[in-house]
Structure 1
Amino acid sequence: MEQLQRPGLGELLRYVAELVEQGAEEQYRRMGLEYRPRFTPVMRALAAGAETVTDVTKQTRLTQGAVSQTVKLMGGAGLVERYGVSDGRKSGLRLTPEGEDLVHALEPQWEATFTAISELEKEIGYPLLRVLQETANALDRQGFGPRLAAAGDAQMEAIHG
């Protein structure tokens, strides 16, 4: 019988993210909504006053590429529209009336999501959101690549003396 490998950080993060997204998708279907959980950070940022992809990126900590892709999907779903801004270098973003209505419909669900997270944190005995926030902050200070390189260099030094 094969032993399972110890999962790495990326593997566990992807697995947890998939489970969270699946649960959210199930709830949205129960609510009768055709809505993708990946829209949520952009919807929340726009509802909170973000006006450009750069604004959304800063508020959500998502990459510009991820935000741009999500905005494109949301535009196709009729939730977001672009408009010209005064300096002409960027385009502005805003929720469409349909997007605004959806935000109002989703706000109670988003509150329920934070309640569910709180209950999960009680069950596991860890402040999961705080741990992830602190992890993100540490990786902002020094990326995982340099950390990995330093660990690899230390191992090589230990082997080769």
Structure 2
Amino acid sequence: MNRNNEPGLGELLRYVSELVEFGAEEHYQQMGLNYRARYTPVLRAIRSGAQTVTEITTCTHLTQSAISQTVGHMEADGVISRQRGEDARKSVIQLTPVGKELMAKLSSHWTATFNVIEQLEEEIGYPLRSVLKDTARALERQGFSQRLTHIKQNLAAGGTNDE
């Protein structure tokens, strides 16, 4: 099988992510919201009780850098505010009145979003979220780089990539 023209895993994941994000952004515009899809994981984490960048990072599985950058944009857009916590090294993140209003508008939208995800999973015949969670757990156990090294060593030793 010639794999030279096949998209790789990262490429497909980014493409699907872009399709989802583009659709979400389009819908936010239709709702009349000045809102970025990247705010969603942060707002959902806050709704679940997260109050610091570290707690949001843990809830979302996104990098601390990505969350910090998103929190900065959200603060600039007036969605959240940050106050020094008891531990002066950490800021407590809170919704502003604008953020609370936004959260109220988005709550039913997120319910509809999960309904769409369930319909999509039904249409494709795969529990996509479960597959992605299982993939993430497998890569946490043994990283992609380690797996590449193992395969390359097998190939160099005259083995096959099926080992």
Shared fold (TM-score greater than 0.5)? Answer: yes
Higher fraction of helix = 1
Between the aligned residues of both structures, percent identity stands at 53
| Deviation of 1:135 (Å) | 0.8
Aligned residue pair count: 157
Q: Which 4+ residue blocks in structure 1 deviate beyond 3 angstroms? A: none
Q: Give runs of aligned pairs for residues 18-37 of structure 1, distance below 5 A.
A: 18-37=18-37
Structure 1 counterpart of 2:20, which letter? V
Task: Return the alpha-carbon distance in structure 2 between the equivalents of residues 56 and 63 of structure 1.
Answer: 10
Task: Return the alpha-carbon distance in structure 2 between the equivalents of residues 148 and 96 of structure 1.
Answer: 46
Task: Return the alpha-carbon distance in structure 2 between the equivalents of residues 103 and 54 of structure 1.
Answer: 21
Gaps of 5+ in 2: none
Q: Which residue of 2 aligns with 1:64?
A: 64
**Is 1:39 matched up with 2:39?**
yes
- What TM-score results when the alignment is normalised by the length of structure 1? 0.94
RMSD: 1.4
| Deviation of 1:4 (Å) | 7.7
Task: Return the alpha-carbon distance in structure 2 between the equivalents of residues 72 and 143 of structure 1.
Answer: 30
Gaps of 5+ in 1: none
- What TM-score results when the alignment is normalised by the length of structure 2? 0.92
Contact 1:79-1:95 at 8 Å conserved across structures: yes
Structure 2 counterpart of 1:156, which letter? A
| Deviation of 1:143 (Å) | 1.4
Deviations 1:122-153 (A, max 9, x none): 11000001101111111112211111111111
Task: Return the alpha-carbon distance in structure 2 between the equivalents of residues 86 and 155 of structure 1.
Answer: 55
Secondary structure of the equivalent of 1:37?
coil
